[in-house]
Every structure is written in structure tokens, then in C-alpha cells.
Structure 1
Amino acid sequence: MEKFINEKVVVYISKFTNTKVIKALKDGMMFSLPFLMIGSLFLLIANLPIKSLNTLVAECGLADICSQVYSSTFSLMALFTVVGITYSYLKNDKISTAVNGALTGLAAFVLLTPSSKVLENGEAVTGVISKDWTAGQGMICAILIGFLVGYIYSLCIRKDIRVKMPEGVPPGVADSFSSLLPTGIITIVCAIIYAVCHFVFKTTFAELIYSAIQIPLQGVTDSFAGVVIMTVMMSLLWWTGVHGGSICGGILSPILQANMAANQKILDSGVALTVQNGGHIFTQQFWDNFLCMSGAGVVIGLVIYITFFAKSESLRSLGKLSIIPNIFNINEPIIFGTPIV
């Protein structure tokens, strides 16, 4: 059994987790994390659970400021994601102009998302970037565009499809010209995709992806079976020696963030947040508080036991080392030290 796990299971899982796509997804999603945390903090301040404090925050104008901060951080998660994934993909490919490629990914995302919005009175406003699509609704689209741009940009550089400048030209200028052809090719490809979606499907690429992929994905994961499958998968990955939290978190993070954004949109509309009104149960908070409290495997009971009751001095030392990080869902010391893996 051990030979089968080490030579078959672990090998194939390691190959999967080290693919360009998965590595770019894991690394790229981390770019949005600081903005999500800051945005969530200001959202909490603007919606304090104590009525008197909430009224005070609203009357002094602080709620409006918090709302602006929230809409400039949390509501732009798709933009951060497409930049992060494109940059990570190119950086992992050791492309020196990865920043230029990331900006190309941003331009491609804007190109392929709706540039108009219909107001409540029926009037259509054009030439806008809707925050509906820079937030949760655009997450899967942002991921796909990040992969597409990263692949094409990297391919162009590796095939030497670029403008070369003579030696002595400043690096910034050389990088700009080196990015010219890859950016042009990507823009043309995205323009063709936009045209096909516009004239054939009468929609945009982002709206097509949202209706065809993201909504079904959110529905599948936001079910009892989906939660059980992802939890079991995470534990199995850990059991084989692979960082289950990192892999499952990287794959699930876009869906969980999209679910959070959808829930927030329901609250902003003044409707009760219920399943009947389209609310989602499986969000990042659900994952952290019910599936991964104290880390994958919910090992807080084991940590408390070995810290205070274990007869082994080494286990007690491990428990003392692990108990504080474990409170904050960091359990690598206990996972590898016991060892559970």
C-alpha cells in the first residue's frame, strides 16, 4: 500500500500540482488576498452589528468612506486576479517582461467584459467598467483570460516573436518594445473573441462564461455533496503528503469569493440573505469556520490534548509550539510534526 501511494498516487498528484496552470492559479490568487482582507475590514466597520454604533458611523459620514474603500478593494477582485495569474504564469516561465504581460492581461479582461450598463430607468450608459464584472461575477472569466494571455505571451517570447532593440537601449524602453508584438497579437485574438460573442451570441465573453461555467460551478460546489467531496479531497491530498489546503484553496478560492460577492449583492439590494433569494452557504467564511477551523482536519482537539495531557515531552513541546498558530488556522507544525502526513 505504501509503495502504491508513494510511486503512483503521490507522483501523479505532484505532477498535477506542479503544472503551469495550477501554480499560476495558486500564486495568482494570493495577489487579491490583501485587498480582500482590507475591504472586508472596512465593510465590517460600515455594518457594525451594534445598532447605536452603526447609526453613529452612518451619521458622521464614515460609512460612505468605508463603502468607497470596500468598492475599491473587494469589488475589484477580478482585476487583481487576472493581473496576478498572468504575472505568476509568466514569472514561472521566467519571462523578464512579466509585468508588461500582466498589464496586457488586464487590458484583455476589460476588452472582453461589458462596457455598458442599463440603469433602473432603462437608460443604457456606455463606456463604463461595471463593478459587477470586476467583482465576483467576473472571477472565472478573469482566471481563463489570465491563463490565455499568459500562454500566448509566453509562447511569443519563447518563439522570439518580439521587437529586439540594440544593446545600450535602456531596459524600460527595450521591455516596452519587446512586449509590443505579443501584446498586439493578444489584443487581436481577444478582439476576435469579442466579435464572435457580440455578433454570434449577442453577448460578451464575460457574460457567456458566467452563464455557461460560473453559475453551474457555484451551484455544484454550493451543495452538501460538493462540500463533502472537497473536504475529503483536501484530507486525501494531505494524507499523501501534498499540501491539500493550498491545492483545494487555489481551486476553490475563485468560487468561494464569487459566492461571497453574490451574497453581498443580495444584502446591498435590501433583500434577506436566504437560499430562497439566491444566497450561497459555501463561502470562504464557511470553509474557514466549519471545514478548516484550526486548519485542515480540525486538529485543535489534538493540539489541546498533546499540549496539556501528553506523556511525551516532545509531543508537549510540539503542542506548545503549535497551539497559537493553530488558533489562526495554521496547522502545518502539527500536520508534519505528529506526523499526520
Structure 2
Amino acid sequence: MANGQSFLDKFAEVSAKIGNQVHLRSLRDGFATIMPVFILAGIAALLNNVVFKGLWSTDPASLGWFPNADLLATAQYWGNALSQGALSISAILLCGMVGYSLATNKRFDNPISCVVVSLAVFFIMMPQSVTANLAASSPLLTDEVTTAEVTSAFITNYTGTNGMFTAIIIGLLAPTLFIKVSSVDQLRIKMPEGVPPAVEKSFNVLIPMLISLGAFGLVSMILFAGFQTDITALINTWIQTPLRALTTNPAGLVFIYSLGVFLFTLGIHQSTINGVLVEPVLTIVLVEAMEVYTTGGIDAVIARPDLYLNMNVINVYALMGGSGCTLALLIATFIWGKWQPSKEIAKLGILPSIFNINEPVIYGYPIVFNIPLMVPFVLNTALGILLSYGATVIGLVNPTCIQVPWTTPIIASGFLSTGGDWRAAVLQVVLLALFVVIYLPFMKASETAQRKQFEMSE
């Protein structure tokens, strides 16, 4: 037992160090900062594709009070503006916020300068000419040139969802170099007393900023002159594609996420693993699904099976009531539980669990080191992923494509995240009922074990 406990203590210590590693923590902080922007973009897309289209029609006879189609286009302009303002610059937002988070986590005295460096490097590393699509002047001119090389322009393939991996890497690397160079005292320009603090800070980082930007400009030049490529193309080929293939593969996702959830049963928060390895990638896939939904509607998302496994699949189906779908455990306890301490914890934990917050259950029921409950805690998470993915693949429910807050209660989260598909809400209820059944025998075994422990302690 001592050896086992020693192993768990060491494992917990290593996991905590990984979870608190400054670059990984900064990545999580950066995503958390811009998450409201993505949620707003999801709401705008939902309004455009469901609410506005449901209220307006091109046929005035369909509704007696119905306005014309021009009003629909005007209303959708509002939604498109919000979506474009968020999704088309998502990589820019992420790059700046990751850089700022890294600076604050490293306690750098001028974090705003790290935002400047991150964004400047992000654009420095972009190609200086891009291929633009041109609309034919007439449908009859089928052989007319439809593309052209454009200079002094940026395209959303780099500033939007496709550039988010680049934004992550640059947002971590550029400030790291800048902070390192800034620590060299000889490179700081000393200003006399009485100079405003903002001016003093800008001169202090002048030379380190020039060195950092120049270094990345040199890398950009080498990639172009030597290999006719750019950093985003390299990252998409060597990092983004393999990583997405791993985490958006059902077997790979279930294995990694189940490992993180299992750690929670040992008292190690699941975000230590999942928040680092899984959630950033799945969030990027979800943002891309929102972009596809915004431009082409739900049919366009259905036509992209590579977008089916995204962060909403976890939040909507696999974490109902929080990690391990413990809302099902509380329901089973209310209906069939006999052990009064467990029922009291269930009363305290039911309201937070409705909003997918279950720390009171994890540590109060408890789930941690409760051997009987470890099995359904991990199993239900895996089943939530696999069954919802299977239902999406065979067309029983729409893919999740709208980012909703992770605290959104079930039924509402299923309906909203799938673009208003009521079948997703029904699937949530069916899965919850299944999870209750799975928890039931293990809950009874847990009560028996706790009762015996209580009797032995008297």
C-alpha cells in the first residue's frame, strides 16, 4: 500500500508539473480569454441560419405579416458581421492572447509588449503574396482567369481557423525569445528620471524587440528563398494534420480523454491531460465547424465528417453534469440510494451538476479513490463520445457546430450546439438514462463499501 501510495504521489506530482508548465498554462489561458468571442460567433451563426430563416421567407403568402427578403438579408448582415469579426481573425486574437498570457505567467514587467511582438511576428511569417479567387465577369466566360497573385494582402486561410496552430506556436515562441533577450541588461536603453513610464518601457524593449522581430524575419526569408514555403504551410503539414488525425479519431480521442478522466478518480484534475493534449485541438476543430456552418449552413457541416469530433462532443454528450457524467450518479442516488451521507451530498451537488460543475461530487461523494465508482466514471465518458459520434455518422443527429458555454444544461446544450436539432436533445436524455443504469450497480456497491468502512471505524 505504501509503495502504491508513493507511486500515486509521484505520478500526481509529475502530472501537476505538466499541467502547470508555463507554456501549456499560457495556452489554456489564451483560449479562455477569447472563448466569449467564439461563443458570440456561434450565437450569431445560429440566429442567421435558424431564427432569421425561420421567421422570414421569400414567399409573402407563407405568413400574413411577413416582411420582404431584403429585410432578411439586412438582419443576416448583423450576424455575418459578428461571425466574420470573430472567426476570420481567430488566429490573430489567439496569437496575441497567448503571448500576453505567457508574459503574465512569466511575470514579465511589460506584457503588452509581448502582444505586439506576437502579432508582429505572426504577420512577418506570412507569405508576401497570396493567390486570390476572382469572379468571372460573365457566366459564359468559363475559360476566364479565376485566380491571381496578389501582394500586400492577407487571407483568412492564415488569419482564421486554419492559422490557429501557427498562432499558438508563434504566440509561445516569439514572446519566449523576446523575454529572454530583454533580460540582457546591456540591451536596455536607460532613460533619465522624469520620463513617463510608458515611454521608458517602450525604450527599454526597443533593442530586444528589434532583435526578436529581425530573427523571425530571417526565418521567414529562409523558408521563402530556400524552400518556397511559409511557416503555416509547414505547421499544417507536420504538426496540425497529424495531431488532428490523432485527437479527431474516435479511438485516439477515447483513449486520451479516458486517461485524463481516470486521473480525476485519483484526485488529479482531468484538465492536466485533456486541457493540454485534447481541448485546444478540439476547440480549433469546433471553431472551423462554426465557420463552415456560418457560410454554408448545417448541410455543409454534415458534408465534413472530419469536423464531427470537436470540443462540443465532449461538453454536450460526454460531460453531462461534469466529468464522468455524474449527473447520472446523482439521479441514481436520489431514486435508489440508501446511504444517507451520499444522499446528502447528492442534494448539495445537484444544482451545480445541472450546470456541469461537479467538484462537490468528485471530492464529497466521493469519486476520488472510490474503487466501485471508477469504472462507470470512465466508462460513461467513453460511451458518451462513441455513441454520440456514431449517431452523428449515421445521421440520427446533426453534428455539433455551435459553441455554447460549457455550463449550458443538457437539452438546451444539445439543441443549440447542433443548430437547433431537437434530436440531439433527445439523444442527451437517452444517454443520461443509459448512464443512470450503468451507475446503479456501482453506486450500490459504493454504498455497501462506505457502510462497512463506517462500521469498522466505530
Instruction: Give yes or no for TM over 0.5.
Output: yes
What is the letter of the counterpart of residue 17 of structure 1? G
Q: What do residues 20-78 of structure 1 show as CA deviations (whole Å, max 9, x unaligned)? A: 12111121221211111111111111111685326479642111111111111133221
Q: Secondary structure at the match of 1:47?
A: helix
Q: Secondary structure at the match of 2:89?
A: helix
Question: 1:77–1:224: structure 2 CA closer, same or farther, 3 Å change rule?
Answer: same
From 94, 103, 108, the counterpart of 2:116 = 103
Whole-angstrom distance in 2 between the partners of 1:298 and 1:239: 13
What is the letter of the counterpart of residue 217 of structure 2? A
Please state if 1:324 is matched with 2:351.
yes
Moved more, 55-64 or 159-168: 55-64
Q: What do residues 151-180 of structure 1 show as CA deviations (whole Å, max 9, x unaligned)? A: 112212333232232333211111111221
Whether contact under 8 Å (1:263, 1:279) holds in the other structure is no
From 249, 256, 268, the counterpart of 2:275 = 249
Whole-angstrom distance in 1 between the partners of 2:327 and 2:292: 34
2:301 aligns with 273
2:223 aligns with 197
Question: 1:67–1:95: structure 2 CA closer, same or farther, 3 Å change rule?
Answer: same
What is the letter of the counterpart of residue 301 of structure 2? L
2:286 aligns with 260
Question: 1:154–1:307: structure 2 CA closer, same or farther, 3 Å change rule?
Answer: farther
Query: Following TM superposition, by how much is the alpha carbon of 1:195 offset from its aligned partner in structure 2, in angstroms?
Result: 0.7
Whether contact under 8 Å (2:19, 2:276) holds in the other structure is no
Question: 1:245–1:220: structure 2 CA closer, same or farther, 3 Å change rule?
Answer: same
Q: Secondary structure at the match of 1:273?
A: helix
Whether contact under 8 Å (1:17, 1:247) holds in the other structure is yes
Whether contact under 8 Å (1:136, 1:257) holds in the other structure is no
Whether contact under 8 Å (1:237, 1:244) holds in the other structure is yes
From 193, 206, 225, the counterpart of 1:167 = 193
Whether contact under 8 Å (2:117, 2:175) holds in the other structure is no
Please state if 1:339 is matched with 2:366.
yes
What is the letter of the counterpart of residue 109 of structure 2? S
Whole-angstrom distance in 1 between the partners of 2:219 and 2:16: 34
From 70, 77, 83, the counterpart of 2:90 = 77
Runs of 5+ in structure 2 lacking a partner?
58-66, 135-145, 369-458
2:202 aligns with 176
Whole-angstrom distance in 2 between the partners of 1:209 and 1:285: 25
Please state if 1:211 is matched with 2:237.
yes
Runs of 5+ in structure 1 lacking a partner?
none
Please state if 1:145 is matched with 2:170.
yes
Query: Following TM superposition, by how much is the alpha carbon of 1:278 offset from its aligned partner in structure 2, in angstroms?
Result: 5.5
Whether contact under 8 Å (1:82, 1:145) holds in the other structure is yes
Whole-angstrom distance in 1 between the partners of 2:253 and 2:301: 20
> Which structure would you say has the larger Rg?
2
Query: Following TM superposition, by how much is the alpha carbon of 1:13 offset from its aligned partner in structure 2, in angstroms?
Result: 0.9
What is the letter of the counterpart of residue 230 of structure 1? I
Query: Following TM superposition, by how much is the alpha carbon of 1:220 offset from its aligned partner in structure 2, in angstroms?
Result: 1.8
2:330 aligns with 303
Question: 1:278–1:304: structure 2 CA closer, same or farther, 3 Å change rule?
Answer: closer
Q: Percent identity?
A: 27
2:148 aligns with 123
| TM superposition score normalised by structure 1 | 0.90
**Alpha-carbon RMSD:** 2.4
Q: Secondary structure at the match of 2:200?
A: helix
Whether contact under 8 Å (2:48, 2:76) holds in the other structure is yes
Moved more, 120-129 or 51-60: 51-60
Whether contact under 8 Å (1:136, 1:262) holds in the other structure is yes
Query: Following TM superposition, by how much is the alpha carbon of 1:143 offset from its aligned partner in structure 2, in angstroms?
Result: 0.9
Whole-angstrom distance in 2 between the partners of 1:84 and 1:236: 31
What is the letter of the counterpart of residue 157 of structure 1? S
Question: 1:256–1:167: structure 2 CA closer, same or farther, 3 Å change rule?
Answer: same
Whole-angstrom distance in 2 between the partners of 1:145 and 1:325: 38
Question: 1:114–1:67: structure 2 CA closer, same or farther, 3 Å change rule?
Answer: farther
Query: Following TM superposition, by how much is the alpha carbon of 1:99 offset from its aligned partner in structure 2, in angstroms?
Result: 1.1
Query: Following TM superposition, by how much is the alpha carbon of 1:214 offset from its aligned partner in structure 2, in angstroms?
Result: 0.7
Whole-angstrom distance in 2 between the partners of 1:119 and 1:256: 29
1:155 aligns with 180
Whether contact under 8 Å (2:42, 2:290) holds in the other structure is no
Whether contact under 8 Å (1:75, 1:134) holds in the other structure is yes
Whole-angstrom distance in 2 between the partners of 1:58 and 1:340: 55
Q: Secondary structure at the match of 1:95?
A: coil
| TM superposition score normalised by structure 2 | 0.68
Whole-angstrom distance in 1 between the partners of 2:94 and 2:277: 13
Please state if 1:65 is matched with 2:78.
yes
Q: Secondary structure at the match of 2:150?
A: strand
Moved more, 98-107 or 244-253: 244-253
Moved more, 228-237 or 109-118: 109-118
Please state if 1:236 is matched with 2:246.
no
Query: Following TM superposition, by how much is the alpha carbon of 1:263 offset from its aligned partner in structure 2, in angstroms?
Result: 3.1
